[in-house]
Structure 1
Amino acid sequence: MDKITDFINNQYKPLQVKDFIADATHLFLDVPYSHFPILEQDVFLGSISKEDADIFLSTDSINDHKYNLNRFFVRNDMNWFDVLEEFSKNHTNLLPVLDDKNNYLGFYELDDVLHFFNETTFVKEDGSTIVVEKETADFSFSQICQIVESNDAKILGVFISNNSATKTEITLKISQSNFNEIIQTFRRYNYTILSEHQEDAYLADLKDRSDYLNKYLNI
């Protein structure tokens, strides 16, 4: 599998702060980016947004608006999940990449990082996804792993998909083995199953009982 740094892109040179807003506007007509990096010689200053480029006077220099630049970036040693989080936090489809000495190395495109995500075990390997929820103070990853592995299955990926002061939602992908037993074990440990599964014998039994009750009441 490729490393995420293999996706650092230098297809387009960053704009310089001495360039004009018109240069940014013309660039955004040619590329589908929401932002684009701005340098002062070799020093990264931030990124201009397409929205701002459309508002500012085309005859202005970028330097006239350098305090409006967006200063988000990622480091080249950040893992792909943190990079994906930065895309979401900053509502962008382009992230400048700097090294530990703040040298500009290029940028990541959102589509490339999503492609990288699609090649991870979490997405690529065959398995089933379960979404469970438990009191925030009571859940632990070690317990989740123990529940899955005690049923002769393996965890292919797990992450917290929602979190509050009282409840934590966990999404996990597991190898397809003893799936119904895993679901029932989570329930015995007081996890709520948020996802729906055809293999869930408990819900199937509830449906059968409900159908029987409705049939009885309609007699």
Structure 2
Amino acid sequence: MLFSSLDPALQAHLLRGSAERRYEDDQIIQQRGEMADGFWLIEAGEVMVGQFLREGDFRAVALLGKGDSYGELAVFSNRPRIVDAVSRGQSTLRHISAHRFLDALGNYPASMRALLGALSHQLQDTLSLLAGMRRGTNPARMAELLVNLAGEVRREARVEITQQELAELLGITRVTANAALKILQQARLIERGYGTIIVRDRDRLMKFALD
């Protein structure tokens, strides 16, 4: 995430001037169409990012957790936000003012270069994800999603997420998501629990996603 690429001194400066905000489960944090007056840093809990459909259903595209930041791109572009964000359970976030961020950034040239690198990395990941969605089978796409959600843990990792949420993130039905998870479990790559997926071996799961 972009905030983590900033100079520690700049991070501290931004946090000192930020406002702490707490949200309950399913509470809307931001809405599509709003002008970006800042970006968010998640201190505790999780946030689902996506879009509300006309029917009122929420279509998730990302699940973010502690230490993740989002909303920086809207700040840079000075355009309305293109995604909605909803708290998943109770969450605590820091709202970092766009004005404070952009004013301070000019004093940290190394952070500007780091941001460019982080943005390039995000773009590469997005293009890779789009390519995978076009060519991959549902089990392979599910494997890649679980690898991303597991983070950098090389061996066993616990991912707290429901089958419905996984289905929404992949844009498939819950039945299709369940079938994909069953294949991964039969291959002994994951274990399923109530609202939990245990990734047994991240490297093996990634290999499955790429094969």
Q: TM-score, normalised by structure 2?
A: 0.25
Q: TM-score, normalised by structure 1?
A: 0.25
Rg comparison, structure with higher value:
1
User: By percentage of residues, which structure has more helix?
Assistant: 2
